[in-house]
Amino acid sequence: MPAPPDDQLPPLFRAWFESRGWRAREHQLALLALAREGRSALLVAPTGAGKTLAGFLPSMVDLAARPQDRPHALHTLYISPLKALAVDVARNLEIPAREMGLKLRIETRTGDTPSHKRARQIERPPDILLTTPEQLALMLAHREARALFAGLRRVVLDELHALVTSKRGDLLSLALARLRHLAPELASVGLSATVREPQALARYLTHDPEILPAIVTVTGGARPDIRMLESERPLPQAGHTAASSMPAIYALIREHRTTLVFVNTRMQAEFVFQELWRLNDDTLPIALHHGSLDVEQRRKVEAAMIAGKLRAVVCTATLDLGIDWGDVDLVVNIGAPKGASRIMQRIGRANHRLDEPSKAWLVPANRFEILECRAALDAVEEAAQDTPDMHPGALDVLAQHVLGMACADPFDADALYAEVTSAAPYAGLDRATFDDVIRFVATGGYALEAYERFARIVRGADGLWRVRDRHVAQQYRMNVGTIVEATMVKVRLGRRSAAGAPAGRGGRVLGEVEEYFAETLSPGDTFLFAGEVLTFHGLSEDSALVSRASAGTDPKFPSYAGGKFPLSSFLAERVREYLADPGSWDRLPAQLVELLERQRRRSALPAAGDLLVETFPRGGRHYLVAYPFEGRLAHQTLGMLLTRRLERARLRPLGFVANDYGLAVWGLRDLGLQAARDKDFISELFAEDMLGDDLEEWLEESALMKRTFRYCAVIAGLIERHYPGRKKTTRQVTVSTDLVYDVLRRHEPGHVLLRAARADAATGLLDLKRLAVMLSRIQGRIMHESLDRVSPLAVSLMLEIGRESVYGEAAEEMLAEAEAMLMEEAMS
């Protein structure tokens, strides 16, 4: 694209740029030119390129040209994945508006906005409104939506790459389709970090795949200065605390102005925060920021950060996205990076200026993570991207949207179908499925038509669908959004009774943890919470009862699932290449090379496309360990399917465990011996046909499938959301989705919500897609090593055993074992 001349800018704006000593950048002018033509656009640029200003400049130019005494009307809508980002951008936008003397009303609208202000925003909207996908959905479901959005000219979608691959992206795409319908003159502008396939992202912005928006790409920027921290002491085989690297990290914090320390989970954040403070002899202002902290506390940290009062913040993915934290000059990433694009985003948080290099250190926490960090460094060097693929729109999200549309205005099914299929994720939606969704929203969509009288939307004589009553609209508003929070339990300090166990009720509440985390704890386990080491005593009603551990107690890290993000396929492939090629090991630290050498001597290292399978006995059990490097989710699914096969072969597996690199299955029978007797045993075990009947059968009873179904049921409005603070005893009143799932699959296996859950399973918690690719890759390429003891590579997996739910026959074995324990006790 030829560079438009600077004189494109109105004098007022040129003067403002000059007053700041800036020149408008090429891409900013390019977006301005496109806006003049009324065209939509996708801006792909690295951090620090002035993306946000580029997105808003056309709006401001347009608004400045209008009479200053005009009535305010909604001109531009800005959508951000984070409410904090919306607030931050609003603040940054006020500055040029004020300095140029533009009489603009710029407002934010988030879940925190008081209801009277939200109501006022509908009646008397600002010129520019900054909000989130959920708030947009709520506004579109408002009875005044048509009037509110009729004059909308621009919608700016920030961090679009982060939104589109999730269900929130589906929700937003439907909202966009609605906006295009309500505001025919609307132009959409997407702002994105560098992605693998910008074309696919551009498609998201338009209703017509034939007319793609212009793609404006900003390249260049200084190469990041990124290194891996080599610890002096050898790293452990497993674990994610990076404890031994803390002094080095503390030294880095001291040497820099402001450091962001990224970790993958809240638990890691707690640990790192505490360790840094233990070393903090200079009492540097170091803060903690993660999603479970009290909102007030998070706001305080953010404010202190912006004011430049902090030297370091230990944070989770909550700070991944583009909030401008001012003076960050160093990013430290602890643990595995998981994806090349993800790590580049995080690194971009340091130094928001395009022409200066971002500075970052990667800190592996165990020896495996060294490999992953090395692979990520290579990827950054090549500027390789591994952003995930887009996926077809989810049906549960569509159901939520359909109900919202009925809340706004009576709708015609044909017109709504046309509108919905104009959204990129739903372009392939067939009419029959759409009608199933309408029927689901109306009466549950069951073959047994028992709920006609409870219909939420009804079709009138005019052929239009409308909500039955205000109660339904209220229910919609309570449920809007696609983020399903985990059920939380309170962490409560108990008073000690004579027996040493806490007395239960009445103790102080320290905060909340996810119920699933609390369930993995055993009495006596110690864990970190809100910067303290606590001892867990048990769950009671809605609380996890804890006491403060005695001084000097080391917190045991009982549960770490590697965070939400599984290892990307791209990094996995790099890791496999490193393992396969000893010639590349000179790029690896000595302690890892030593581990790999020992693995090669004692067992084997697989060629890049091969699968290594090991069998060995240990502690009265026989283990089978495989290393596909396909991420935790795919491995869990594989573990489940292998367990089924072994059960059928009467090899009595007892359980399995999976991490990002591999999985281990164990049982009472010698699997190595079995492989020696039957040379096809291993290859048959990993045969591709496990994705056929085995999968179907297993899916039916899988706990992961049930969890997937629960998310769909909540989003689709089938069951109530759990809100923080609601008592756990509501479980007795409401219906467990596990029970609903069991009943539904027995009586109507083709129901639209089960279809939605299965579609999610393929890419979500079960990652079937990735598993299928792997199984086809390894056919005829499995190397089996029969060992007499655990191999060096297997150790990391063995250390994760003992925290997973077991399924099928293994659960039966457990019941029998518990029964036998009692018998033993009775007989002795």
Partner 1 sequence: MNAPLPAMEEQESGRAIGRLAMLCDLSGALHLPEERTLVVADLHFEKGSARAGRGFLIPPYDTRDTLARLEAVIARLAPRRVIALGDSFHDRHGPSRLGTSEREALCGLQRGRDWVWITGNHDPALPSTLEGEVADAIEIAGVRFVHEPGVGAGPDADGNGAAVREIAGHLHPVAKIVARGGRTRRRCFAMSATRCILPAFGAYAGGLNVRNRAFAPLFPGGFMAHVIGAERVYAIDSTLLRDD
What SS3 class is residue 145?
helix
Taking the C-alpha atoms of residue 727 and residue 730, their distance in angstroms, rounded to an integer, is 6
The verdict on 814 binding partner 1 (CB under 8 A) reads yes
Taking the C-alpha atoms of residue 379 and residue 373, their distance in angstroms, rounded to an integer, is 10
Taking the C-alpha atoms of residue 455 and residue 468, their distance in angstroms, rounded to an integer, is 7
Taking the C-alpha atoms of residue 614 and residue 600, their distance in angstroms, rounded to an integer, is 12
Are 150 and 182 in contact by the 8 Å Cβ rule? The answer is: yes
Q: Write out the binding residues for partner 1, residues 695-734 only, by CB under 8 A.
A: 717-720, 731-732, 734
**Considering the complex, what minimum distance in angstroms separates the CB of residue 652 from partner 1?**
13
Q: Which is nearer to partner 1, 336 or 664 (CB)?
A: 664
The verdict on 659 binding partner 1 (CB under 8 A) reads no
Q: Which is nearer to partner 1, 540 or 763 (CB)?
A: 540
Q: Can you list the alpha helix ranges (DSSP code H) found in 124-245?
A: 133-140, 145-149, 160-164, 167-182, 198-203
Burial-class residue 568 by CB neighbours within 10 Å (0-12, 13-18, 19+).
buried
User: From residue 92 to residue 131, what is the string marking binding to partner 1 with x (rule CB under 8 A)?
Assistant: ----------------------------------------
Q: Write out the binding residues for partner 1, residues 12-31 only, by CB under 8 A.
A: none
Span from 43-51, 246-254, 587-595, 797-805 in contact with partner 1 (CB under 8 A)? 797-805
What SS3 class is residue 89?
helix
Taking the C-alpha atoms of residue 476 and residue 401, their distance in angstroms, rounded to an integer, is 9
Count of residues that interact with partner 1, criterion CB under 8 A = 56
**Considering the complex, what minimum distance in angstroms separates the CB of residue 167 from partner 1?**
20
In the structure encoding, which two tokens stand for residue 778, read together?
């390894």
Taking the C-alpha atoms of residue 687 and residue 182, their distance in angstroms, rounded to an integer, is 52
Are 665 and 686 in contact by the 8 Å Cβ rule? The answer is: no
Amino acid at 355: D
Amino acid at 584: S
The verdict on 773 binding partner 1 (CB under 8 A) reads no
Please pick, from the candidates 650, 815, 824, 827, the single residue that binds partner 1 as defined by CB under 8 A: 815
The verdict on 810 binding partner 1 (CB under 8 A) reads yes
Please pick, from the candidates 318, 540, 591, 763, the single residue that binds partner 1 as defined by CB under 8 A: 540
Q: Which is nearer to partner 1, 608 or 814 (CB)?
A: 814
Span from 318-326, 408-416, 594-602, 744-752 in contact with partner 1 (CB under 8 A)? 744-752
Q: Which is nearer to partner 1, 18 or 519 (CB)?
A: 519
Tokens 């946000």 map to which residue? 52
Q: Which is nearer to partner 1, 421 or 543 (CB)?
A: 543
Tokens 């891996």 map to which residue? 228
Are 728 and 542 in contact by the 8 Å Cβ rule? The answer is: yes
In the structure encoding, which two tokens stand for residue 383, read together?
């500027």
In the structure encoding, which two tokens stand for residue 22, read together?
């800036």
Please pick, from the candidates 165, 217, 237, 475, the single residue that binds partner 1 as defined by CB under 8 A: 475
What SS3 class is residue 428?
coil
Taking the C-alpha atoms of residue 77 and residue 133, their distance in angstroms, rounded to an integer, is 11
Residues contacting 162, CB < 8 A, separation 6+: 81, 193, 320, 321
Please pick, from the candidates 124, 495, 587, 747, the single residue that binds partner 1 as defined by CB under 8 A: 747
What SS3 class is residue 263?
coil
The verdict on 486 binding partner 1 (CB under 8 A) reads no
Are 639 and 654 in contact by the 8 Å Cβ rule? The answer is: no
Please pick, from the candidates 122, 539, 593, 649, the single residue that binds partner 1 as defined by CB under 8 A: 539
In the structure encoding, which two tokens stand for residue 511, read together?
């905060």
The verdict on 806 binding partner 1 (CB under 8 A) reads yes
**Considering the complex, what minimum distance in angstroms separates the CB of residue 738 from partner 1?**
9
**Considering the complex, what minimum distance in angstroms separates the CB of residue 499 from partner 1?**
15
Q: Which is nearer to partner 1, 22 or 454 (CB)?
A: 454
Q: Which is nearer to partner 1, 18 or 469 (CB)?
A: 469
**Considering the complex, what minimum distance in angstroms separates the CB of residue 443 from partner 1?**
6
Please pick, from the candidates 222, 748, 772, 782, the single residue that binds partner 1 as defined by CB under 8 A: 748
User: From residue 426 to residue 465, what is the string marking binding to partner 1 with x (rule CB under 8 A)?
Assistant: --------------x--xx-x-x-xx--x-x---------
Evaluate the CA torsion angle 162, 168, 169, 173 in order and state its sign. Answer: negative
**Considering the complex, what minimum distance in angstroms separates the CB of residue 446 from partner 1?**
6
Q: Which is nearer to partner 1, 467 or 690 (CB)?
A: 467
The verdict on 822 binding partner 1 (CB under 8 A) reads yes
What SS3 class is residue 788?
coil
Are 31 and 43 in contact by the 8 Å Cβ rule? The answer is: yes
Span from 128-136, 221-229, 296-304, 802-810 in contact with partner 1 (CB under 8 A)? 802-810
Q: Which is nearer to partner 1, 521 or 626 (CB)?
A: 521
Taking the C-alpha atoms of residue 710 and residue 515, their distance in angstroms, rounded to an integer, is 15
Interaxial angle between packed helices 632-648 and 693-701, expressed in degrees from 0 to 180 and rounded to the nearest 10: 110
In the structure encoding, which two tokens stand for residue 531, read together?
């910067």
List contacts with partner 1 (CB under 8 A): 440, 443-444, 446, 448, 450-451, 454, 456, 471-472, 475, 519, 522, 538-540, 654-655, 666, 717-720, 731-732, 734-736, 739-740, 742-744, 746-748, 751, 801-806, 809-812, 814-819, 821-822
